[in-house]
Every structure is written in structure tokens, then in C-alpha cells.
């Protein structure tokens, strides 16, 4: 394999690994949204450190800021979902079913090489051969 082809396959692997990182980011964003939702429901600890007045304007300002932050986080999550959808569609657009399965199991289901070989009933070496061929046929 020449250097140019190897570099291109590395870019493809990095792109495909984006699926895993998108899932991880989505989970982190979901946790952050849940924390914000809880703090919005129980803002008393925030209000204790705010200047006193009637309290309503401070609380409504806080709630509006939390809502804005939650909307930004939802937008970030939607970007991750769009990336996952794009990756899955590009895999599905491939012609060879075996190559599709190898990429799907490896990058979407996150199987190890060993588990992938067992699942598809191929040797470890043969899975790598199929994976390499699949990368060559994968379109970025």
C-alpha cells in the first residue's frame, strides 16, 4: 500500500471513529442538560448568593439563561446526531455487504477485532483484510 493510500485510509478511520466520539459527546451533553434541569428546578443555592430584592427578576433572569444554555446544548447534540447519521448513511451506501458489516460492527457497534472475527466467523487476519478493502471502497 502506498503512502498516499495509507494516509487516506487513516483519514477515513478517523472520520469513522467520529461516530464513537459523537456518542460519547451526546452522553456528556445529556448529563449536562440534566444537571441544568435539576438546578433550574431547585435554584435556591444560586439565589442565596444573589443580591436581595423582590427575588423574582433574579430568578427569571437565571431561568432564562439556563434555558438558553440548554438550547445551545441541544443544538450541539443535534450536530452529533447528524454526524452519526451521516456516517451510518455512508457505510450503508457501500456496495459490498460484508464490507458494510465490518465497518458497522467496528465503528458503530464498537466491536473489538476479536469479537468482530467471532461474530462474522472469519479469522482475525481475514477481518483485517476485509476492513482494509472496505476502507479503500469507503467514500468520504
Concatenating the DSSP letter of every residue in 48-107 gives: TTSPPSSSHHHHHHHHHHHHHHHHHHHHHHHHHHHHHHHHHHHHHT-S-HHHHHHHIIII
B/e letters for 88-100, b = 16+ CB within 10 Å, e = fewer, are eebbeebeeeebb
Asked whether residue 16 carries a pLDDT value surpassing 50, the answer given is yes
Q: What is the DSSP letter of 108?
A: I
Residue 24, H or E segment: helix 3-41
Of 5 and 49, which is predicted with more confidence? 5
Q: Are 85 and 22 in contact (CB under 8 A)?
A: no
Of 9 and 40, which is predicted with more confidence? 9
The predicted model scores a pTM of: 0.78
Q: What is the pLDDT of residue 15?
A: 97
Asked whether residue 46 carries a pLDDT value surpassing 60, the answer given is no
pLDDT band at 55 (very low <50, low <70, confident <90, very high): very low
Asked whether residue 57 carries a pLDDT value surpassing 60, the answer given is no
* Mean pLDDT taken over the chain: 88
Of 28 and 65, which is predicted with more confidence? 28
CB atoms closer than 10 angstroms to residue 43: 16
Asked whether residue 100 carries a pLDDT value surpassing 50, the answer given is yes
Amino acid at each position: 500500500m502506498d503512502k498516499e493510500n495509507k494516509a487516506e485510509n487513516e483519514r477515513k478511520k478517523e472520520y469513522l471513529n467520529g461516530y464513537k466520539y459523537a456518542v460519547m459527546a451526546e452522553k456528556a451533553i445529556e448529563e449536562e442538560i440534566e444537571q441544568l434541569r435539576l438546578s433550574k428546578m431547585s435554584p435556591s443555592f444560586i439565589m442565596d448568593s444573589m443580591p436581595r430584592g423582590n427575588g423574582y427578576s433574579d430568578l427569571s433572569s437565571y431561568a432564562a439563561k439556563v434555558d438558553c444554555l440548554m438550547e445551545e446544548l441541544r443544538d450541539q447534540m443535534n450536530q452529533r446526531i447528524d454526524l452519526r447519521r451521516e456516517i451510518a448513511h455512508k457505510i450503508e451506501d457501500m456496495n459490498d455487504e460484508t464490507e458494510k458489516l465490518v465497518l458497522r460492527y467496528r465503528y458503530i457497534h464498537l466491536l473489538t477485532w476479536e469479537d468482530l472475527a467471532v461474530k462474522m466467523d472469519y479469522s482475525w487476519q481475514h477481518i483485517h483484510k476485509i476492513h482494509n478493502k472496505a476502507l479503500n471502497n469507503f467514500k468520504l
